[in-house]
Structure 1
Amino acid sequence: MTHRSSIWVIGDIQGCAQSLRHLLQQPALQDPNAHFIFVGDLVNRGPDSVGVLRQIQALGKRAQTVLGNHDLHLLGVAAGQRKCNRSDTLSSVLTAPDADALIHWLRHQPLALHHAGHLIIHAGLHPAWSLQTVLHLAHEVEQTLQSPHWQDHIAQLFGNQPSQWANDLEPIARQRYTVNALTRLRHFTAKGEIDHQYKGAPKAQLGLTPWFDMENRQIETPVIFGHWSTLGLYMRADVMGIDTGCLWGGQLTAVDLRTRQIVQVANQDGPLRPN
């Protein structure tokens, strides 16, 4: 990557391989030195999760991704610790001839990336966390996923508790909270707990606060995230939300970190219909 090369951050793909292919073919993304960072949820619900993983792997060192909740769910299923849901479309990965290699690659991806003065995560952050805290907590989870006995330990990362952060959480509880914040968080309740129920756009009357509007946020680094399709494209100086609902018939979005140029393509895979 040269000093002047573009750094494109790409929103949630969720198995929409044709949409990703179309986005990567756009003229603005054709710089041979361009670097691509994905905000997670590469897989699931869409029609071709294995195609998405293979496209990103084919980019080699030009591509990085953070893990989203659907990516972790795939790892849990592959480890035999979670069951597929009725709406899952993970079989293309699990039955692929290169399944072992794909799973190995996926579980070696980070939960947070600090790149070109930005923090890239899938979902959200606790307001008390500094940049160094985020990267340290993410690394703890990454060590669990990358350990030789990861299949035995990944189950401890799933679950809604604890719902509130404390500096003295036990290691397992700390990792679980880290996963829930970095891959599932949208709102906090009035008590400062992660809300796991409401997935819609912010509504003040619900008594919930978007994570990026919490008071006394410690992190000063601009944050780019996905996960929140009902929020849509959300651009301000300190945060950028780029999940624009490709899976649901919306658009797949790329943002250049250095210029904030936005490139979007319409869904090419056929929209998923809500149940």
Structure 2
Amino acid sequence: MIHDEPLVWKSETGPFDIIGDVHGCARELEKLLGKLGYEVKTRGPRGKRNTSLTHPDKRKIVFVGDLVDRGPASMDVVRLAMEAEKAGIARCVIGNHDDKFLRWLKGRDVRISPSLKTSVQEAKKEKAKFLELVRDYLDSLPSHLVLDNGRLIVAHAGLPERYHGIENRTSRALAMYGETTGQTDDLGFPIRLDWARNYRGEATVVHGHVADRKVRKRNNVWSLDTGCVYGGKLTALRWPEQELVQVKAKRDWFPNPRWT
């Protein structure tokens, strides 16, 4: 698969609403979109929900990836993202959980972790035609997006400046997983390199991937994963205003040993 060119939306100047890791928290996503001023029209029960979106000010949504896994309604989140992208109101970059679910959809040999299991269980209730659409959609997602004439970069785990606008195997891996030391901590999580500490690029980089209770901003780098699926919040960054909008999770949907 030749993935979507990250420069496709370079000339798009927004305004944008950049949304952190959703992880299947569909109701929280709908609530956040309403708070952002979108008209959200839904039909159907959980698991079969279709959603249409419009915004009076023509704002557009950018998802930082990890639409699926852990939460209660990953297929509803994917439906919303696909319909919004088809309508020209949204774009999404691929997250590591989206990529692993994609590999499962393709029949690859992947370990069914507790996180992935939630999406797999939902997917097994879906029709084959819908899963084909999901597979093709996830397979089309770029590693990152260059927006607002290069002033804004969106990548799931962030991306060092030297890879901005470059779509290859290395940039894709870094954008999905970030830089690590190759070691793990006492809970089994990879120890990550703090690339944002040395970031000096002019472009603002917005990402998710590593959940924290608060939004982190360092050297023109924003991290928006505030752990909605763990009972935290779902966060959006309004661009170019650089204002945060959040909603609280309905509950903690998935255990996180770091948050206990």
Please confirm whether the aligned pair reaches a TM-score higher than 0.5, indicating the same fold. Answer: yes
Moved more, 235-244 or 86-95: 86-95
Q: Decide whether aligned partners of structure 1 residues 121 and 86 sit closer, same or farther in structure 2, where only a CA change above 3 A counts.
A: same
8 Å CA contact retained: 2:231, 2:252: yes
Residue type at the aligned position of 2:33 = L
Pairing 1:222–2:215 present:
no
Q: C-alpha displacement at 1:72, in angstroms?
A: 0.4
Question: 1:27/1:223 Cα in 2 relative to 1: closer, same or farther (>3 Å)?
Answer: closer
- Structure with higher strand content: 2
Seq. identity, %: 27
Contact 1:118 1:221 in 2 (8 A): yes
- Distance in 1, matches of 2:251 and 2:78, equals 16
Q: Deviations over 1:21-71 (max 9, x none)?
A: 111111544533110000000001111110001112222210000000000
**Equivalent position SS for 1:25:** helix
Map of 2:21 onto structure 1: 12
Question: Quick one: structure 1 residues 222 and 5, their matched pair in 2 at CA, closer, same or farther if it must change by over 3 Å?
Answer: closer
1:20: Cα distance to partner?
A: 0.7
Q: CA deviation at 1:9?
A: 0.2
User: In the TM superposition, what is the alpha-carbon distance from 1:78 to its structure 2 partner?
Assistant: 1.0
Which residue matches 1:274? 256
Q: C-alpha displacement at 1:251, in angstroms?
A: 0.3
The Cα offsets for residues 101-155 of structure 1, whole Å up to 9 and x where unpaired, read as 11111111111001122000000334xx42xx3322x2x3xxxxxxxxxxxxxxx
Equivalent position to 2:77, from 40, 44, 52: 52
TM (normalized to structure 2)? 0.75
Note the alpha carbon deviations across 1:68-93, whole angstroms, 9 max, x for none.
Answer: 00000011111122232133211223
Change (3 A) 1:111 1:198: farther
1:23 maps to amino acid: L
Distance change (3 Å), C-alpha of 1:199 and 1:51: farther
2:102 corresponding residue in structure 1: 75
RMSD over aligned CA atoms reads 2.7
In structure 2, the residue matched to 1:96 is 126
> After TM superposition, which residue ranges in structure 1, 4 or more long, deviate above 6 angstroms?
none
Between 101-110 and 25-34, the greater mean CA deviation after superposition: 25-34
